[in-house]
């Protein structure tokens, strides 16, 4: 069983069409064909069905090969178009090839037809795959740009030089422009060092060096807006190759609210610790009031315990806890009658 081949044949001679079909079957194809003789019929055939190839005579009473080629071109279909003619000069063949015909075969030499068809079908498949890849690439780029510019975070694309230093910006998204008050054109004449707070530049150089080696090195820094305002950000950079160069895609998330919340938690914790110390001192004072004979004993135990803890290398937080515990280790005396404690 031959290989299926859908052939749209532009031919006024039924006999010539039969010769072409016989040649195709001899070459291992099982052609399904339709023969048309006018532009209208060809146009209708292209609208109604899918075809693998168009084989056209060059000269016919009401139609010709160049007109058929024009109909195909107007449809925007990438189908191999082969002229099979009984008499065609070299100048006419060249004109047809310039107009978009893929090849021509003389009817007196139909043995060339199958090899020409095989080649053109192979090249058409390669063009189809290439177009699909290009379309996929364009769609990927469209989605990337859409995500790039609609993201909630500032995004920067910049070069990574050979010595591990951030080079000039290649692209920034809308959010970056809005947050830092620079236009896109201004950004493209700047580098990351131009927007990082001076006190963080040394850390930035270290991050770029690590990024060059590992490909990913998240860090926190301060970005400076055009009017001098400093914004705390958490940056997640990734290195990839583009056009033979190392490029960094950095996503900068504004962490102002998080930093404010952290500061608020620190202040609250300090207040709680201060209150706790005051409560401990008050409780220790109560114990000493109940038992004046051992006044200062709890404080001395706390100091000795803390000295031992420091020698043991315990963390400061644990030492603070030992200090508070030592300061009230005799708290039970508050429930014992004073006359018993002082007996």
**pLDDT greater than 70 at residue 167:** yes
| Phi, psi values for residue 160, rounded to 5° | -120, 110
**pLDDT greater than 80 at residue 73:** yes
* DSSP string covering 3-22: EEEEEEEE-S-HHHHHHHHH
Question: Tens digits of per-residue pLDDT, 265-296?
Answer: 888 888 888 888 788 777 777 777 766 666 67
What is the band of 144 on the pLDDT scale with cuts at 50, 70, 90?
confident
Question: Tens digits of per-residue pLDDT, 211-235?
Answer: 777 778 788 899 999 999 999 999 8
Average of per-residue pLDDT across 307-336: 84
Strands 103-106 and 53-56: unpaired
CA 90, 96, 98, 103 torsion-angle sign? negative
3-state secondary structure of 249: strand
Separation CA 179–CA 252 (nearest Å): 11
Q: 203-213 burial by CB neighbour count: b if 16+ within 10 A, else e? A: ebeebbeebbe
What is the band of 165 on the pLDDT scale with cuts at 50, 70, 90?
low
Residues in the chain: 343
What is the band of 150 on the pLDDT scale with cuts at 50, 70, 90?
confident
Residue corresponding to tokens 């963080």 = 200
- Contact predicate 161/172, CB 8 Å: no
**pLDDT greater than 90 at residue 151:** no
Q: What is the helix (H) or strand (E) element at residue 270, kind and residue range?
A: helix 256-290
Average of per-residue pLDDT across 321-337: 79
Separation CA 74–CA 161 (nearest Å): 49
């Amino acid at each position: 069983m031959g290989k299926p081949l859908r052939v749209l044949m532009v031919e006024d001679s039924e006999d010539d069409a039969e010769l072409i079909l016989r040649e195709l079957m001899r070459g291992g194809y099982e052609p399904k064909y339709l023969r048309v003789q006018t532009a209208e019929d060809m146009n209708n055939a292209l609208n109604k069905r899918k075809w693998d190839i168009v084989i056209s005579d060059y000269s016919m009473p009401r139609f010709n090969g160049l007109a058929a080629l024009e109909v195909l071109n107007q449809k925007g279909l990438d189908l191999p178009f082969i002229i099979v003619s009984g008499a065609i000069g070299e100048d006419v063949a060249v004109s047809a090839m310039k107009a978009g015909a893929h090849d021509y075969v003389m009817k007196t030499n139909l043995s060339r037809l199958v090899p020409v068809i095989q080649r053109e079908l192979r090249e058409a498949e390669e063009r189809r795959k290439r177009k699909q890849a290009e379309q996929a690439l364009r769609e990927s780029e469209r989605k990337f740009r859409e995500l790039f510019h609609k993201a909630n975070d500032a995004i920067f694309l910049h070069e990574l030089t050979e010595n591990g230093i951030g080079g000039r910006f290649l692209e920034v998204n809308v959010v970056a422009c809005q947050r830092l008050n620079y236009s896109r054109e201004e950004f493209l004449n700047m580098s990351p060092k131009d927007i990082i707070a001076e006190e963080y530049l040394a850390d930035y150089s270290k991050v770029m060096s690590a990024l060059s080696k590992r490909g990913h090195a998240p860090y926190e820094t301060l970005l400076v807006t055009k009017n001098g305002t400093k914004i705390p950000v958490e940056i997640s950079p990734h290195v990839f190759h583009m056009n033979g160069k190392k490029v960094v895609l950095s996503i900068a998330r504004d962490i102002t609210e998080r930093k404010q919340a952290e500061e608020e938690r620190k202040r609250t914790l300090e207040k709680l610790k201060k209150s706790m110390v005051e409560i401990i001192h008050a409780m220790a004072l109560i114990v000493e009031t109940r038992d004046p004979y051992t006044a200062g004993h709890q404080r001395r135990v706390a100091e000795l315990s803390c000295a031992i803890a420091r020698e043991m290398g315990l963390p400061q937080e644990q030492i603070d806890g030992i200090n508070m515990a030592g300061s009230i280790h005799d708290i039970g005396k508050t429930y014992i009658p004073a006359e018993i404690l002082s007996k």
